Structure 1
Amino acid sequence: MSSSVEQRQPLLPGPGSSPDPHPAAPTPARRRPRRLTGKLAATGFLAPAVLFVSALLLLPFATTVYRSFFDDRRISGFAGLDNYLLFLNDPTLTRSIQNTLMWVVGSVALPMVLGLAIAVLTHSGGWSRVARLLVVLPYALSGSAVAVVWNFVLTTDGAANQVLTAFGLDAFAQGWLLEWPGNTLVMIIANTWQAAGVAVILFLVGLQTIPPETLEAASLDGAAGWRKFWYVVLPQLRTVSVIVVGTSLVGGLKSFDLIWVLTQGGPGRQSETLAVSMYQETFLALHPGAGAAVAVVLTAIVLLASWLYLRRQLTPKGH
């Protein structure tokens, strides 16, 4: 009789009993449907973004790569690597590569150094807000508007030559946009005038995130001035520096509007970068195959340079 009563004991715990501290873990058979449901839900959320990016970026790029292997006749024939060999045989594209490299170096080094210096100098002080406004204001302008301003300065009878003449420095007056490499250098300076604004903003944000305790400890240890900046402040701006250099690198590689408004790549296509050469070959010279090849090479350079830089900077030390 007692055994039958024991067999009829309730499976659920009574009011005074405690639950089982070690509940049975779900079996692998129960885990699979949950994982499958989670993967399907994640795929459903990502699908619109993937399709959107594919339609606007990947599909046009694939079409450009395909077009770069055909010649420029009305009925295009397969040209193999002929369009890419122009980089070795065409002096215009060779000069375009030189100008692009100059733009990359100038548009990375100058905005970073100038932006960091201005951010440090205007980080504190009563006049800092006005100074930051004057520096950041050009960043709000478009590249075309910046080009119009600098065209007023750099033309033969422009403001730069008039100021030099007024101070008796006529020997230094020249056609700033008429000779290579001077025209490329002054356009890089014009680009720096605009691009330094975003560098100042980013470095100011980085400076505000530095803990005051770190600076106080450095001062107590005897660090001051340049040593304090080099060994304490600058290492804590590493992440911001990566962002500034990365954006400047991409911006320098694809510079177009400022160059086009100021010189249109001239004189004699001497101041073209790869971005301007791509436009010239595709829409003005009516060489879509060559233009597509330039676009592919430019895209590959941008992606490779960005990947190498970010991989080097963001990889933890010791790995």
Structure 2
Amino acid sequence: MKHVTIVVPQGNANLSSITGTYEILTGANAYWQRQGNRPKLAITVAGAVPEVKLDAGFITVHPTLIGTVKKTDLVIIPSAPFSLKLIGENKELIHWIKAQYLNGAEIASMCTGAFLLAATGLLDGKTCSTHWSAENRFKQMFPKINLQPDKLVTAEHGIYTNGGAYSFLHLVLFLVEIYFDRSTAIYCSKVFQIDMDRTSQSPFFIFQGQKNHGDEVVNKAQIYIEQNLRERISFEALAAELAISRRNFDRRFTKATGNTPVEYWQRVKIEVAKSALEKGRKSVYEVMTEVGYSDDKAFRDVFKKLTGVSPLDYRARYSKAF
């Protein structure tokens, strides 16, 4: 039997990712036993303090103290609203998570729980995901980690992460398949009504240009890009206008925003295109030309690269006109 520990961080952890994980794993265990098998998992909810208040104090959780959990096989870190205070309040928990991994446990983080996992140092040099809205902050704080925010689930060296919000359900299904089997995962998919095998959270991205970096030159460049979407921008000329070499411009822009100038330009264009497609009043061709594309294939390729779906599929999914 494998021992699973769902941890409860201090700092208003997301209740649904704790209870949802517990319910699905318990359901998988029950289904497994109904097939004539012995239980696969023993599940504990644990924390560094005996009482944690969640949801603005409306819910109180009384976890088992982590000090009493000497050995576990899988640690699950729920989502929690990120702040530096969150890491400061959970130093004991962070140390315990790292010690468990070094003692052979696997680790799974959900959404912004990746910040707590990253604070252990275990993700350095590895790939992970988190909520798309936390991308810039995460990259700034943990530059040694290969963040892949388009990925719904990542798995590397016994460490599992997932994207944002309720996509934690897909990570739990993934873990069910690992710790039980495919048929049990399918059963849970049907009972809890979770789509199987979704791999990307890209269609749900809302690109937010990073502007709190303090680099005035880059800020001016961002504003220029956003105000000239339909134009053919020469970044060589833009760098010269800002009295900076092209090489230095690219370096500073990438450091400040997490994107190269060309990537930023593309992301802004596609975000505007997404908004227009959601309204449903214009054709894909009209939207394409409004954001400065003249090549249909180039537009479709960039759109699908950044969202995971074609412009037509995106319009069909989100437009009120459909």
Normalised TM-score (structure 2): 0.27
Q: Greater strand percent: which structure?
A: 2
Q: Which has the larger radius of gyration?
A: 1
Normalised TM-score (structure 1): 0.28
Which structure is higher in RCO with an 8 Å CA cutoff and minimum separation 6?
A: 1
Q: Greater helix percent: which structure?
A: 1
